[in-house]
Amino acid sequence: MIIEVKPGEIGGIVEAPSSKSFTQRYVLYSAFSGKPVTLRNISYCDDELIAIDIAKSCNAHIEYQKRDIKITPDFKCPKKIYVGESGTSYRLSLGLLAGRKCTTEISGKPALAKRPVEDLISCLENTGSIFYKNSEGFYKIDATNSGNVYCTLNASKSSQFASAMLFYYSFFKSACFGIDSMVSEKYMDITVKTLEDFGINIKRENNNFIIDGYLKSKNDIHIEGDYSSASYFMVLGIFTGNILIKNLKKNSLQPDSGIIKILNDAAGCIEIFDDYIKINKAYEIKTVVVDVSATPDFAPVASVIGIFSKNGVIIKNYQRLEIKESNRYLNILDMVEKFGGIAEIKDDFMFIHPGGIKNPDTLIYSDHRMVMSAIIAGIIAGSKTRYGDIEAINKSYPSFLNDLKKLGADIRFNTEI
């Protein structure tokens, strides 16, 4: 599908969609652990739907009521699961399947098979699981002989490896595993919170995670709003002002909640309340500094600030962008050039700053975060750019276009370029 977006007069109120990082963890752990739960405020993005389908493959019964789901698990090892292009569901499922001693064939979209998973598999092999790689690059797991064996994990490519191993060891009454190194470490806080809500007590001593004892389990959980999804309208609001975003928990565990500090350090224009934020127009924007190791999903839309603000944006550790849903490093360079920005590449950072504003006729990206970032860039530029592969945004933010319309953008749908 192709859309054309005209800026309009921007301003108004939107509600952040559910955090798919939380949703996927709760859905999958409920299904595999046999612990029922009601989850409220689900946005039904593609990644959340993948987790729900995996739960169904494990014989869980799902009841739907508007934006709430009730999961009643009756666990059976699935013969097959489909992980789509959800790296989170894929990696977490590996740990869960091994923990439940399943023999399961995994399939998904080809692009996901190219993303790293080998260090996680190596750790699971050390605990007794056997993996067979198929021609598509996915695996069949035979975890019949998996056991409570200490493993030291290299999570330098993804914190999801560590989350998967924490899920794995949670099926033992007492267990421990070590971490050699880990990126985006704060995502482990979300995993620990999930397990604690299901009654699993987690301790950390230096580089070891320890499962020890039980807590009171919750069975009714509200999924908080997603900061990475909200960041598109935060960036837009810096240039337009008058945007209020609801459903954002003030003291969130989400690593991307740090986006507010990044933007306030540079622009000082975001007001923070208990469950919403207000973005005012910034009349001066200092250089924005983003570390991909800490907030990787913020890089595409942060680069938009660099295109239009004189002091630019520094993106550290940009090399990690090459192994996301797409090669976001190359896509960011393309988007910056198409809108007239300049990207200077250094050894460990890229510096994006203005050149002369351009108005591209058509942009097509297959990556959801690139599509949404390009649309925000087009509104700020005042362009009449058309955007292709618009369905990609359903991966994380299916209501994005509706929310954009609420804020005053004029969106016209076409079926052809």
142 and 208 in a single domain? The answer is yes
Tokens in use for 288? 């924005």
410 and 296 in a single domain? The answer is yes
Length of the chain, in residues: 417
> CA 238 to CA 225: how far, in whole Å?
20
pLDDT, tens only, 164-201? 999 999 999 899 999 999 988 899 999 999 999 999 99
pLDDT, tens only, 80-124? 999 999 999 999 999 999 999 999 999 999 999 999 999 999 999
pLDDT, tens only, 23-49? 999 999 999 999 999 999 999 999 999
Dihedral class, residue 44 (left if φ above 0, else alpha if ψ from -120 to 50, else beta): left
341 and 213 in a single domain? The answer is no
Catalytic residue among 256, 297, 367, 403: 297
Give me the sign of the Cα torsion angle 293, 151, 163, 119: positive
pLDDT, tens only, 202-221? 999 999 999 998 999 999 99
Mean pLDDT for the stretch of residues 273-280 = 96
Where is the domain boundary, 222, 240, 273?
222
pTM of the model: 0.95
Share of the chain above pLDDT 90, in %: 92
Is 20 annotated in some ligand binding site? yes
Is 369 annotated in some ligand binding site? yes
Is 388 annotated in some ligand binding site? no
Would you call 212 a catalytic residue per the annotation?
A: no
> CA 217 to CA 351: how far, in whole Å?
47
278 and 208 in a single domain? The answer is no
Where is the domain boundary, 182, 197, 222?
222
280 and 334 in a single domain? The answer is yes
pLDDT of residue 119: 97
- CATH number, domain at 129? 3.65.10.10
Range of the domain at 127: 20-222
Is 320 annotated in some ligand binding site? no
Nearest to 221 by CA among 46, 20, 69: 69
Would you say 89 and 50 are in contact if contact means Cβ atoms under 8 Å apart? Answer: yes
pLDDT of residue 415: 52
Is 115 annotated in some ligand binding site? yes
CB neighbour class for 360 (10 Å; exposed up to 12, middle 13-18, buried from 19): buried
- As for how many domains the chain has, the answer is 2
Is 328 annotated in some ligand binding site? yes
Nearest to 234 by CA among 178, 176, 281: 281
**Does an H or E element contain 25, and which?**
helix 20-33
pLDDT, tens only, 279-333? 999 999 999 999 998 898 999 999 999 999 999 999 999 998 987 788 999 999 9
